[in-house]
Structures are given as C-alpha cells and as structure tokens.
Amino acid sequence: MNTFQFINPAKILFGRGQVAKIKDEIPEYGRRILLLYGGGSIKKNGLYDQVTRALSEIPGAHVVELSGVEPNPRLTTVNKGIELIKQNDLDFILAVGGGSVIDCAKAIAVGVHYEGDVWDIVTNKAIPTKAVPIGTVLTISATGSEMNGGSVITNWAENDKRFFVSNHTFPKFSVLDPEITASVPKDQTVYGIVDIMSHVFEQYFHDSSKAPLQERFGESILQTTMEAAPKLIDDLHHFEYREVIMLNGTFALNGILSMGIEADWATHMIEHAVSAVHDIPHGGGLAILFPNWMEFVAAKKPVKVAQLGIRVFGIEAENRKDSDLAAETIRKLREFWSSLGAPSKLSDYGINDSEIDLMAERAMVAETIGNYVPLTKKDVESILRNSI
C-alpha cells in the first residue's frame, strides 16, 4: 500500500424516522439555517413537511430557503447560495436532496469564506481553509456525497464540469432513511445503482496487489448491490432493498476503498465532459462509458477485469486466458445494466460523433487521465467513438 491518511468524521443517522433527529444535531453548529433543495419533489413526497417540522422544533431557529438546485448543480446557483448566506448571516446549511444538492451545499460552504470566485476552488486553483457546517437529508442513493468531502459543479458559461475534495466539507451529519428513497422513479434508481457500481470500479482498477482488504470491500459492495438491484427494480418500494442500496452507495465513496491505492477516475472525467456539453444524467453517461472504458483498458491489462469477473460475476476461470475472461466480464456487465434498463449508447441521448473532439478536450484535465491505464486525448476519443 501507499502511505495514506484516512479520516471521515461524518455522522450517519440510518433508518426509519431519523429525519426528526436533525433538531438535536443542528443546534450544535448553528441556528441560522440555509435550507437547500432541488426541484420540489420533496414537497410532493412529504419530506419537506417532515424537515420543516423538525426545524420548527429548534428554539430560536431562523430558516432561509433556496430551492431549484439543478441535477448537475450550477455555479450560478452556488453563487446565489453564497449571497444568501452573507446577506442573512447564516451559519448552517441543511441540504435536502441527492448528490447534486449536497455538492452544491459544499461549494456554497467553502465559497462563503473565500474572497475570490468560488470557481477557483472547484477547479483546485484555491484550497479551502474553512467552511460553513453542513448537514444532509439524503433523497437518492448514488453519489456518496453524504459521507465525503467531494463536490462536482458545472459551469455552463464555460461548458465545464469539475470537482474538488476537502476535509472541511464532510457533512457533520447525514440522515439516511431508505423510506425517503422509495418514491425515486425507476430511471433515477437505475442511474444511482450504476453510479454506485462505477464508484467501486474507479477505485478497484489500480496496479497494487497489496491492498487485498480494500479490493474485497469493493467486491462486497458490488456483490450485494447486484443481488439487491434487480429485486429493487421489480419492486421500487421495497424497504429492505432500498436499505441495502442506500448503505452501499454511502460506503462506495466514503474513502475506505481508496486507502493506500491510486484510484483511476478516468471514466468519471470523461462522463463529466460529456454531461458538461450535453446535460445528460450522470448515471446514464456512466452506464454507457464504463463498459467501453473497460474494453479499452482490458486490451492492455486484462488481469484486473478478469479478477472482477471471477470474483463478482461468478465466471469460471479454469483453463482460460485473462483476455477471454475480461471479455466475458464486460459482456456480463453490459447485460446486467441493460437488464435494469440503463442506456448503452450515447446516441440513445441523441449525441453523435460531431462533438467527440470537444468532449475529449474537456475530459483532458491533465496530459493523461486515469491511473490503471493513463489515457491520452486520442484514447479518450476512441472510447467516446465506441460509445456513440
């Protein structure tokens, strides 16, 4: 393993009825609260009422709302949040939503304490040193943002989607009540499952043979996700399957899988480029891109793809070459995601090859991207072309 530091101080409140507990958690940090949420689905499913009821039980609480955070949260919305906090002298952010709302909250939290343009922080040109404390109530299992310090923000003025990570932006607490996710529609549920599995893949593909526990932990998340996912898609309100997917999503990106290894993240960079140019769902983009990325790297290094197939997809290894096993693994992954209803081609979203160059350009945040097989711009173009 590489030398590493691990810390994750986020407190998880898991299970039915945990939303009410926010009234005990928030006052430790502040009482002037920015309540941040998305398009208003929380008003339909009753969560908004649950949350505001709990907030009303905090003596002396003052709540300012900001709604309308977009699925790919925008820099313009982050700036609105920063302004609101400054104008109203707020000291806590409660993010009620999925990864987008939580990511937006993190960018607001660090932007308040930064003199310049918060985009500097998102693009890692400035390092945050302080943040407004955040709590979250999670409404969709996918990004893992509820238990990490990462945030992805889109700048439409520049067609750019970037991310930053900070130890200052761990949520102080996150409420994970699987019941809240029961009303998430099928397509969003599928995208979440793809996102969760993709997070494991990003941290599974590396060259170290010296991190067996982290590898097995990743396989554990994949195995249990793949057991629960088809049953959940058949019965979207099933509490126990929602529960498994919710915990898995949180643990897929809370840091334990990348202890002491170099994670890859190339596919996420490519997907961010695609959805910065076309506003497609992140999970949909990943479902299309990941098998094609895997095919590309398996041509050079099939060994880890083969191991994934043997350990997670139950492929028989006897007397077979790694390249053969890798090909079967990728076929099985495509079959699995298709069986859930995930898209498999960018053309499903009306994207054709006319913008491959622009998307590849956007993906190249460095000379090469990814670590398992570092990709040049030409490699990225090739993966994108195979994904059309």
| Interface contacts to a copy of itself, rule CB under 8 A | 1-18, 210, 212-213, 216-217, 219-221, 223-224, 227-228, 240, 243-244, 247-248, 251, 256, 259-260
Nearer to a copy of itself, 252 or 330 (CB): 252
Backbone torsions φ then ψ of 138, nearest 5 degrees: -85, 135
| Residue 3 CB, nearest approach to a copy of itself (Å) | 3
Nearer to a copy of itself, 209 or 352 (CB): 209
- List C-alpha distances in Å: 270 to 246, 323, 358: 25, 24, 11
Structure tokens at 127: 């390092």
Nearer to a copy of itself, 174 or 267 (CB): 174
Whole-angstrom distance, CA of residue 158 vs CA of residue 9: 34
| Residue 364 CB, nearest approach to a copy of itself (Å) | 31
Cα 146-246-310 angle, rounded to 5 deg: 115
Nearer to a copy of itself, 304 or 362 (CB): 304
| Cα 272 to the center of its chain, rounded Å | 11
Kindly write down the DSSP assignment for every residue of 181-220, as one continuous string: GGGS-HHHHHHHHHHHHHHHHHHH-SS-SS-HHHHHHHHH
* Beta strands 62-66 and 92-97, pairing class: unpaired
The H or E element spanning position 331 is: helix 322-340
| Residue 85 CB, nearest approach to a copy of itself (Å) | 25
Q: What is the 3-state secondary structure (H, E, C) of 133-162?
A: CEEEEECCCCCCHHHCCEEEEEEHHHCEEE
Nearer to a copy of itself, 46 or 212 (CB): 212
| Residue 307 CB, nearest approach to a copy of itself (Å) | 14
- The amino acid sitting at 56 is S
| Residue 367 CB, nearest approach to a copy of itself (Å) | 28
Nearer to a copy of itself, 136 or 275 (CB): 136
Please report, to the nearest 10 degrees, the dihedral formed by the alpha carbons of residues 285, 192, 46, 179 taken in order.
170
Q: Around 204, how many Cα atoms within 13 Å sit in the side-chain half-sphere?
A: 26
Nearer to a copy of itself, 239 or 347 (CB): 239
| Residue 354 CB, nearest approach to a copy of itself (Å) | 43
> How many other C-beta atoms lie within 10 A of the C-beta of residue 128?
22
Nearer to a copy of itself, 250 or 292 (CB): 250
| Residue 229 CB, nearest approach to a copy of itself (Å) | 12
Nearer to a copy of itself, 103 or 243 (CB): 243
| Residue 255 CB, nearest approach to a copy of itself (Å) | 10
Kindly write down the DSSP assignment for every residue of 228-269, as one continuous string: HHHHHHH-TT-HHHHHHHHHHHHHHTSSGGGTTS----HHHH
Structure tokens at 365: 């945040």
Whole-angstrom distance, CA of residue 336 vs CA of residue 328: 12
Nearest to 95 by CA among 170, 16, 17, 1: 170
Which residue is listed with tokens 């309540």? 35
| Residue 275 CB, nearest approach to a copy of itself (Å) | 29
Check if the beta carbon of residue 220 is closer than 8 Å to that of residue 197.
Answer: no
| Residue 326 CB, nearest approach to a copy of itself (Å) | 23
Nearer to a copy of itself, 5 or 319 (CB): 5
